[in-house]
Structure 1
Amino acid sequence: MRVAVVGAGVGGLACAVRLAHAGHRVTVLEAGPAPGGKAARVERDGFRWDAGPSLVTMPHVLGDLFRATGRPLEDELELVRVEPVTRYRFADGSSVELSADVPRAVAALERWSPGAGDDWMAFLGTCAAMWRASAPVLEGPAPWPPSRPRPGDPRPSPSSLVRVRPWWTLRQLARAHARDPRLRMVIERFATYAGADPRRAPAALALAGYVEHAFGAWHPRGGVHEIVLALARRLEALGGELRLGTPVRRVLRRDRRARGVLTDDGVVPADAVVLNVDAERALGPLLGRPPRRPRERSLSGLVTLLGLRGATPGLVHHEIRFPADYDAEFDDVFAGRPPREPTIYVSASCATDPGAAPPGHENWFVLVNAPAAGDAADWGAVADAAIARLGVADRVVVRAARTPGDLDRESGAAGGAIYGAAPHGRLGTLRRPGNRVRGLRGAWLVGGTVHPGGGLPLVMLGAATVARAVGPAR
């Protein structure tokens, strides 16, 4: 069967590799000059940055993808453990480092705030039960609208809904488990990994932090973009084709079935079409339907890439600096304006992978939450303020940016919304668009804006679900 995959992000490439291994003739069509989508790479003057995802969790998902389609992951990539996972700094001047090793994390928390270690263990216990209930949903088809499971698909237990605590928001979960307000902020931070406000996000988003303990935190040698390159190599080895600089204008249909796509270079016939495209854009212009604007878009982000001279004492791979007023940040962002004092996330991959910066220098990826407002703000001023708070302005030798508008133009994320619709509401994670395009046979959706959600492992799980649904070549 001929399959056209629109978009060479991680989700599209992962699905294309599985389909090519299943015997299909696969063509991946990417509008940009390079594969990767949000998982892009920027190189300048000897510095290298990942411009999107900066951490790998659930490495078994990546390992399964490569093992199931040919040679094992170890033949393609080297994963390096990141320790500590994250250092958290607070407005009162205190800080704590969390390890993926639970005893080390608990000991650090107890030294920082007596009782916090016990609270963290109780939180992880709750998350473990939530994970057991959530895993079958993440690994299978979208739960809504309900459908009969296909042979081999996981079957969620009726009690699963109770275990994910749908009556709690993430903030309520944090307050039920952590006495120290600073530890509550750490737990609430996990909402932003899905582009949400912790006051309105479902408690299940706490699992973003849980998986760092359960499966570790990892960095591919050379950067996260190496995953993209490895998938492109695997696709080529399996006989698939990757066409860059080939924007798709429309999905073609006949008799209520996808029949190919229209590009600037002409028609690409296909018996099935997989759209690795922002759901808002896919379900609107590409399918010839009225524009579909979600109830509320997720967070975007302003990325500032810094090449710094000199060495930072005690540099860690990941650091988060919280503001004095965490609620004000979300009030600002979801009102459509840049936050006056944002949380600052710094990823310095050179702490784990020294080759990412020239000797005696450091590569800093600096991210602040931003509204999905495209170019509607003075992002340069926002970046200047973040650099001033970090205290590194006098060390900058190279600087680049990726604004919400850039993210929109380069990856197709509507307005720059990283995760599509914001998963607000106690069942918000269950209301993402499903992988099957309703009303059009042979058309599918993958990527971080559809089921099962954003983040590298989840988009790869969604790709596997779609590949199973398409089935082997006949």
Structure 2
Amino acid sequence: MRIAVVGAGVGGLAAAIELAHGGHAVTVLEQADAPGGKCARIARGGFRWDAGPSLLTLPQVFRALFAATGPPLDDEVELLRVEPVTRYRFADGTSVELSADLPRALEALEAWSPGAGADWARFLETCAAIWRAAEGVLVTSPWRPQDPRNALRIRPWWTLRDLARARARDPRLRMVIERFATYAGADPRRAPAALAVAGYVEHAFGAWHPRGGLHELVAAMARRLEALGGELRLHTRVERIVMRDGQVRGVDIAAAGALAADAVVTDVDEGAVPWLLGKPGPAQAPPERSLSGLALMLGLRGRTPALAHHTIIFPADYDAEFDDVFAHRRPVRDPTVYVCAPGVTDASGAPTGDEAWFVLVNAPAIGGGADWAAAAAALADRLGVRERVAELVVRTPADLERETGALGGAIYGAAPHGRLRGLLRPGRRVRGAHGLWLAGGTVHPGGGLPLVVLGGRAVAREIGSAA
């Protein structure tokens, strides 16, 4: 079959690789000047930053994709272990480092807060049960028959905050656990407890950094696609999916006319698919959007002593952050600050003796007039490195929407609030549109590099090999 893939994000590329390996004629259409979607790269003044995901978990998912379609991933990309996984700093001046090495993590936690190690071990045990129950749903479909006991194991009656309070006595450790809701763009007070697995995997199975940055995975996927005979067209904007009698017939490309196709896979925000089909938006109010982000990419002169690869700096009032984002829809006044300094593990992203930081704070999906310039300046001041800044790139929710097509800049599409929303995202098909398939982080099984690869591969499996 002739298959068009709309968008060269990681999910779209995964589907395209599988489909090309299966003998289909695959063309990937990407409006930007490089593949990757949200997994983008920015370079300036000798500095280089990953502008989206900043660590890799479950590398076996990528290894399986490459092993199934050609030479192994390790022939293409060198993966470096990140240890400790994250340093957490709190408003009271204390800090703790968590490792994927469980004995090391428990020792650090007990030294920081007696009893916290035991609480963390209990939390990981709970997450392990949730992970085993959810894994089949994530890999296949939430609507396929599952072991009914799994419904109990994921604790649908609990929010992530409920889980944190049930497993951790120290309020600071509860914040660490609640932070995992943001990995899916959610408020921990309303997110299902099952979202704990988003953060659990990095502490249970390890965190990784590809030498050269996360975008090296994208480059390797693009090479694999082309080695299999697939075509990647950049600077190519799809304006419409062509349908006739309920069947996909191809796509219309801006300034280039029609491209015939027997099937189309979209790797775009699920909320934008009706527009591509020429349909009006839904009559009901659109679903609440997930978190967006305000990102600063800092090129800093000199090196910071005793820096961690990942640092999370919590505010004094964590609830106020989510009130600002979801209730007031304004830049967070006192946000949690995430700093990724990959030079701790891999110095290739900055000139010798310097370092590149990716800094991210939660932000609302756009919908009003926010002064993002002022918010960015305040964030830079708070970090205390202004005098060292050689390069500064700011990326707002509006930039994210313009560059990636994420509606409102929402990183994960609809907010996964509710008892099962973390596992029940929109499916891979559109009713009444035969031959149209959906991939990417806004549909099942959700966002994050491993999940979008699993989702893309699942689409390819359902389409099947060429006859």
The two structures have a TM-score, normalised by structure 1, of 0.96
What letter is aligned with 1:117? G
* 2-structure distance, mates of 1:9, 1:294: 24
SS at 2:293 equivalent: strand
Structure 1 residue aligned with 2:320: 328
Q: Which runs of structure 2 are paired with 1:300-339 in the superposition (5 Å)?
A: 300-334=292-326, 335-339=328-332
Structure 2 residue aligned with 1:202: 192
What letter is aligned with 1:332? D
Structure 2 residue aligned with 1:473: 466
Q: Does 1:44 align with 2:20?
A: no
Structure 2 residue aligned with 1:434: 427
1:94-129 Cα shifts (integer Å, max 9, x gaps): 000001111111110000000000000000000010
Q: Does 1:278 align with 2:269?
A: yes
The two structures have a TM-score, normalised by structure 2, of 0.98
| Match among 230, 233, 236 for residue 246 of structure 1 | 236
What letter is aligned with 1:386? L
The 8 Å contact of residues 308 and 396 in structure 1, kept in 2 or not, is answered as yes
The 8 Å contact of residues 85 and 203 in structure 2, kept in 1 or not, is answered as no
* 2-structure distance, mates of 1:258, 1:386: 47
Q: Which runs of structure 2 are paired with 1:144-155 in the superposition (5 Å)?
A: 146=143, 149=144
* 1-structure distance, mates of 2:27, 2:463: 15
Q: Which runs of structure 2 are paired with 1:367-378 in the superposition (5 Å)?
A: 367-373=360-366, 376-378=369-371
SS at 2:54 equivalent: coil
The 8 Å contact of residues 63 and 72 in structure 1, kept in 2 or not, is answered as yes
* 2-structure distance, mates of 1:360, 1:383: 25
1:365-414 Cα shifts (integer Å, max 9, x gaps): 00000000167311111111112221111111110111111100100000
* 2-structure distance, mates of 1:161, 1:442: 32
What letter is aligned with 1:412? G
Structure 1 residue aligned with 2:122: 122
Q: How far 1:6 moved relative to its partner?
A: 0.1
* 1-structure distance, mates of 2:378, 2:28: 40
Q: How far 1:73 moved relative to its partner?
A: 0.5
| Match among 277, 284, 287 for residue 295 of structure 1 | 287
The 8 Å contact of residues 297 and 422 in structure 1, kept in 2 or not, is answered as yes
SS at 1:429 equivalent: coil
* 1-structure distance, mates of 2:245, 2:397: 38
SS at 2:423 equivalent: helix
Q: How far 1:156 moved relative to its partner?
A: 2.3
* 2-structure distance, mates of 1:162, 1:403: 40
| Match among 314, 331, 341 for residue 334 of structure 2 | 341
- Of all paired residues, the percent bearing the same amino acid is 69
What letter is aligned with 1:445? L
What letter is aligned with 1:182? R
What letter is aligned with 1:321? I
Structure 2 residue aligned with 1:451: 444
Structure 2 residue aligned with 1:70: 70
Alignment length, in residue pairs? 463
* 1-structure distance, mates of 2:147, 2:335: 40
* 2-structure distance, mates of 1:101, 1:291: 48
1:182/1:74 Cα in 2 relative to 1: closer, same or farther (>3 Å)? same
Q: How far 1:426 moved relative to its partner?
A: 1.2
* 1-structure distance, mates of 2:227, 2:213: 22
* 1-structure distance, mates of 2:412, 2:365: 10
Structure 1 residue aligned with 2:6: 6
| Match among 206, 210, 219 for residue 229 of structure 1 | 219
Q: Which moved more, 1:367-376 or 1:264-273?
A: 367-376
For structure 1, the residue ranges without an aligned partner over 5 or more in a row are 150-154
* 2-structure distance, mates of 1:70, 1:205: 33
* 1-structure distance, mates of 2:345, 2:368: 34
The 8 Å contact of residues 348 and 364 in structure 1, kept in 2 or not, is answered as yes
* 2-structure distance, mates of 1:102, 1:380: 41
* 1-structure distance, mates of 2:239, 2:382: 43
What letter is aligned with 1:322? F
What is the RMSD computed on CA atoms of the aligned residues?
1.0
* 1-structure distance, mates of 2:205, 2:369: 39
Q: How far 1:349 moved relative to its partner?
A: 0.8
SS at 1:67 equivalent: helix
Q: How far 1:209 moved relative to its partner?
A: 1.7
Structure 2 residue aligned with 1:418: 411
* 2-structure distance, mates of 1:196, 1:413: 16
Q: Which runs of structure 2 are paired with 1:106-117 in the superposition (5 Å)?
A: 106-117=106-117
* 2-structure distance, mates of 1:289, 1:415: 19
Q: How far 1:316 moved relative to its partner?
A: 1.0
Structure 1 residue aligned with 2:158: 168
The 8 Å contact of residues 374 and 416 in structure 1, kept in 2 or not, is answered as no
Q: Does 1:267 align with 2:258?
A: yes
Q: How far 1:438 moved relative to its partner?
A: 1.8
